[in-house]
Structure 1
Amino acid sequence: MSSKNSETPLKDRIDWVTVIVPFLAILALCVCFILMPDASKSVLDTIRFILGDTFGLFYLAVGLFVFLLSLYLAFSRFGTIRLGKPDEKPKYPLFVWASMMFTSGLAADILFYSFCEWILYANDPHIAELGSMQTWSSTYPLFHWGPIPWAFYLVLAVSFGFMLHVRGCHKQKYSEACRALLGNKVDGISGKLIDLLALFALLAGTTTTFALATPLMSQVLTTLFHLPSSKWITIAILGVTCVFYTYALLHGMKGISLLAKSCMYLFFALLAYVLFLGGETRYILETGFAAVGNLAQNFLGLATFTDPQRTTSFPQTWTIFYWAYWMVWCVASPFFIGSISRGRTVRQTILGGYACCVSATCLSFIILGNYSLGLQVSGKLDVMAIYAAGNDLYTTIISIIQTLPLAPLVLVLLIVAMVAFYATSFDSIALVASSYTYRQITGDEEPHNAVKAFWAIMLILLPMALVFSDSSMANLQSVSIIAAFPVAFVILLIIASFLKDASDYLKS
Structure 2
Amino acid sequence: MEKKDNHVYFISLFIVLGFSLWGIVSPNSFGNIANNVFSFLTEKFGWFYLMSMFFFVAFVLTLAFSKYGRIKLGDDDSKPEYSYISWFAMLFSAGMGIGLVFWGVAEPLNHFLNPVGVSPGTQEAANFSMFTSFIHWGVHPWANYAVVAMPLAYMQFRKKKPALISSIFIPILGEERVRGPIGKFIDILAIFATVAGVATSLGLGVLQINSGLNYLFGVPINNLIQIIIIVTVTILFMVSAITGLDKGILFLSNSNITLASILMILTLILGPTLAIINMFTNSIGAFLSGFVRESFFINAFSDNSWIGGWKIFYWAWWIAWAPFVGSFIARISKGRTIKEFILGVSLVPALGSFLWFAIFGTTAMNLGTEVATEAVKVTETALFVVMEHVPLGSIISFVTVLLLCTFFITSADSATFVLGMMSKNGDLNPPTNTKIIWGAIQSMMAFALMFSGGLQALQTSSIVAAFPFAMVMIFGAFSFLKALKEENINNINNINKNKVKNIS
TM-score calculated relative to the size of structure 1:
0.91
**Distance verdict in 2 for CA 1:104–1:13, change over 3 Å:** farther
Please give the per-residue CA displacement for 1:73-129, whole angstroms capped at 9, x wherever unaligned.
Answer: 100012111111112222211111111111112211012211111122234362429
Picking from 416, 420, 426, the partner of 1:434 is 420
Please give the per-residue CA displacement for 1:359-386, whole angstroms capped at 9, x wherever unaligned.
Answer: 1111111111111011127xxxx23331
CA contact (8 A) 2:65 2:339 kept: yes
CA distance in 1, matches of 2:301, 2:196: 32
Please give the per-residue CA displacement for 1:264-296, whole angstroms capped at 9, x wherever unaligned.
Answer: 000100111111023x11111111111111111
Which piece of structure 1 moves more, 461-470 or 51-60?
461-470
1:16: Cα distance to partner? Answer: 2.4
Name 1:383's counterpart in structure 2: 371
Which piece of structure 1 moves more, 172-181 or 262-271?
172-181
Q: In structure 1, what residue type is equivalent to 2:436? A: A
Q: In structure 1, what residue type is equivalent to 2:6? A: W
Picking from 257, 264, 270, the partner of 1:264 is 257
**Distance verdict in 2 for CA 1:189–1:129, change over 3 Å:** farther
Picking from 417, 420, 445, the partner of 2:406 is 420
Name 1:218's counterpart in structure 2: 210
5+ residue gaps, structure 1, are: 6-11
CA distance in 1, matches of 2:335, 2:380: 42
Which piece of structure 1 moves more, 266-275 or 174-183?
174-183
Name 1:153's counterpart in structure 2: 145
Please give the per-residue CA displacement for 1:174-231, whole angstroms capped at 9, x wherever unaligned.
Answer: 1121111111221221111111111111111112223433311111112222233212
Name 1:195's counterpart in structure 2: 187
1:136-285 to structure 2, matched below 5 A, reads: 136-169=128-161, 171-183=162-174, 184-255=176-247, 256-278=249-271, 280-285=272-277
Picking from 313, 329, 332, the partner of 1:340 is 332
CA distance in 1, matches of 2:6, 2:484: 31
User: Is 1:481 the equivalent of 2:463?
Assistant: yes
Give the alignment's Cα RMSD to 1 decimal: 2.0
Name 1:468's counterpart in structure 2: 451
1:267-346 to structure 2, matched below 5 A, reads: 267-278=260-271, 280-311=272-303, 313-346=305-338
CA contact (8 A) 1:198 1:331 kept: yes
1:440: Cα distance to partner? Answer: 5.7
**Distance verdict in 2 for CA 1:456–1:44, change over 3 Å:** closer
Q: In structure 1, what residue type is equivalent to 2:294? A: L
CA distance in 1, matches of 2:90, 2:160: 22
CA distance in 1, matches of 2:239, 2:23: 32
CA distance in 1, matches of 2:381, 2:350: 28
CA contact (8 A) 1:250 1:449 kept: yes
Picking from 429, 446, 452, the partner of 2:429 is 446
Q: In structure 2, what residue type is equivalent to 1:275? A: L
Please give the per-residue CA displacement for 1:215-264, whole angstroms capped at 9, x wherever unaligned.
Answer: 11111112222233212222222222222222222221222111111110
CA distance in 2, matches of 1:291, 1:238: 37
Secondary structure, counterpart of 1:332 in structure 2: helix
CA contact (8 A) 2:75 2:335 kept: yes
1:489: Cα distance to partner? Answer: 1.1
1:13: Cα distance to partner? Answer: 7.1
CA contact (8 A) 1:163 1:177 kept: yes
CA distance in 2, matches of 1:117, 1:125: 11
Please give the per-residue CA displacement for 1:372-404, whole angstroms capped at 9, x wherever unaligned.
Answer: 011127xxxx2333157xx31233332101112
Q: In structure 1, what residue type is equivalent to 2:476? A: I
Name 1:26's counterpart in structure 2: 16
Which piece of structure 1 moves more, 37-46 or 262-271?
37-46
1:23: Cα distance to partner? Answer: 2.9
Name 1:9's counterpart in structure 2: none
CA distance in 1, matches of 2:88, 2:381: 32
Q: In structure 2, what residue type is equivalent to 1:326? A: W
**Distance verdict in 2 for CA 1:361–1:13, change over 3 Å:** farther
State percent identity of aligned pairs: 28
User: Is 1:459 the equivalent of 2:450?
Assistant: no
User: Is 1:501 the equivalent of 2:501?
Assistant: no
User: Is 1:368 the equivalent of 2:360?
Assistant: yes
5+ residue gaps, structure 2, are: 491-504
CA contact (8 A) 1:156 1:494 kept: yes
CA distance in 2, matches of 1:218, 1:72: 44
TM-score calculated relative to the size of structure 2:
0.92
Which piece of structure 1 moves more, 474-483 or 403-412?
403-412
CA distance in 2, matches of 1:394, 1:248: 26
1:458: Cα distance to partner? Answer: 2.2
How many residues are treated as equivalent by the alignment?
A: 486
CA distance in 1, matches of 2:210, 2:65: 45
